[in-house]
Amino acid sequence: MTRYTQDIFVSWEELHRDCRALCRTLIAREEKWTRIIAVTRGGLIPAAVVARELDLRLVDTICVVSYRGAQAQQAGAVDILEAPTGDGEGCLLIDDLVDTGRTARAIRERLPRAFFATVYAKPEGRPFTDLCIREIPQTTWIRFPWDTELSFAVPLVERDDD
C-alpha cells in the first residue's frame, strides 16, 4: 500500500485551468470522438469541462468503486458497477486522476479501444493512460475541491500544536 507523505490541495480554479489544458492538447490531436465516458465519480467534473470545450453532447459514465474511505484502496477490489456497451471505439474516456493504475487497468479491460485521458497521473498509473496533463508524485494525496471545504484557520501564534 502506498504511504502518502504529503497532500496537495487543488482549487476549483486550478482544476478548471488544468482541464482546459487537457482540452487544448486533445484538440491539437485532431481526432474526432463520438462521445465522452466519464469515470465516476472523480471524472464527472473534468468530463463536463471537456464536453463543453470539445462541443461533445453525448456523455456516458463508467461507474467504478475502488476507494473505500479516505486514502484507502481495497487490495485487488475494483468493482465496475455499470459500464457502456461496446469496446470504447470512438470514445474519449475522462478521469480526474490515475493513481496506482488498478482502476485504470480494469477500465482498459472493459473499454480497450477508448482513448483514456486524465487530468492528473502518478507514476504507477501513468502507463495505463494515453494522455495526462500533470504528473504528481506517487506519495502525494490530492485533495480535490469537491472533497474539501473552507474553514477558519487558527492563527499560528494562537495554536498549541507547534
Catalytic residue annotation: 95-96, 99
Determine the 3-state secondary structure of 38 from DSSP. strand
Calpha distance 49→27 (Å, rounded): 13
CA-closest candidate to residue 98, choices 45, 39, 25 = 39
Half-sphere exposure of 44 (CA within 13 A, CB side): 9
Backbone angles phi, psi at 53, to 5 degrees: -70, -30
